[in-house]
Amino acid sequence: MKTPMVASRQNWFIRNRMMLLTLAVVVAYAAFIEWFWGWGSILAQWGKVGALPILLALALLTGTYFLRTWRIYDYFPKETSGHFAALFRVTQVHNLLNIMMPFRTGETSFPVLMRSEFGIPLARGTSALFVMRLLDLHALLAAAGIGLALASPYRGLAWIIWVAFLLLPVAGFASRRPLIRLAARLLPRKAQGLVHELERGLPVDAGAFARAWLTTVVNWLVKVAVLAWALGLMNVTPLSASFGGALGGELSSVLPVHAPGGVGTYPAGITAGAMAFGASSEKAAIENLAQASINAHLLIVVSALTGTAIGLLASRKRA
């Protein structure tokens, strides 16, 4: 028979297993980097770049979190009006959990936090998050499509396909009502409330959809441009390779194959993207790219921690 202390310990490990897994992976990753390159060698790249560009990149990346918060603020105007600081804290906690938890499990925190802070039903919050993630993924794939279209031997056809892909969100939004009506007919009566909440999680009108779409495009344009610039400062060349690396890293972060803390998967995404967009395959260039990808990942993690700290401080002052 288990004693209360043993049972309590087991329950604690069960409740915190994801956090413990994340911590173990991060520690193992840090140890691997120290063994393979040495952290001194990795961080020496930042020393060559200088403090001012690092701080500017960090400020711009943190600024994108305010843009993301405004997207949600505009998405739920009635519930969040006058509570931007609290919403910023919620979005930053969600973002940090998303980075640190494996396989995108941190996404589940968004509807839970929106319900606890603003009384938004879980189904509605989940539906809104799903729409925003589709817009995020679409924006990144559309950006990658520009490079593919430029490199295609059939440019005319490639650009036609790219434009058609670019307009997919418009087609999806235009067909939302027929799809909702079809779901309402097919699903049992008990699920009608869920269908209603899912519908409420969609943009209310064309204006709201256009604002969400435009905000998404601007957000990812800034983030990818900053990451590409940072990679360029660390001698990832040519420019197309630094752009591809930034896209590869961010695509790895929005897909389900996401390791705890993004360790391994995010730098691998940067490396794969840079190689696909023309990075040199010479040994010295690949080694530099690998180290630059780790530093770019560190920049993302530090910006997320900075945003979370700002969110917690701002909401505390408002309270």
Q: Which tens digits make up the pLDDT trace of 268-299? A: 899 999 999 989 989 889 989 988 998 898 88
Task: In whole angstroms, give the CA distance from residue 99 to residue 310.
Answer: 17
pTM for the structure as a whole: 0.83
Q: If you average pLDDT over residues 226-252, what whole number do you get? A: 92
Q: If you average pLDDT over residues 305-314, what whole number do you get? A: 85
Residue 5 banded pLDDT, cuts 50, 70, 90: low
- Alpha helices, DSSP H, located in the chain: 4-15, 17-36, 39-49, 51-75, 77-80, 84-100, 109-118, 122-151, 155-166, 168-174, 176-186, 192-200, 206-233, 239-254, 265-276, 283-318
Please name which of 222, 268, 223 lies closest in space to residue 245, comparing C-alpha atoms: 268
pLDDT at 227 over 90: yes
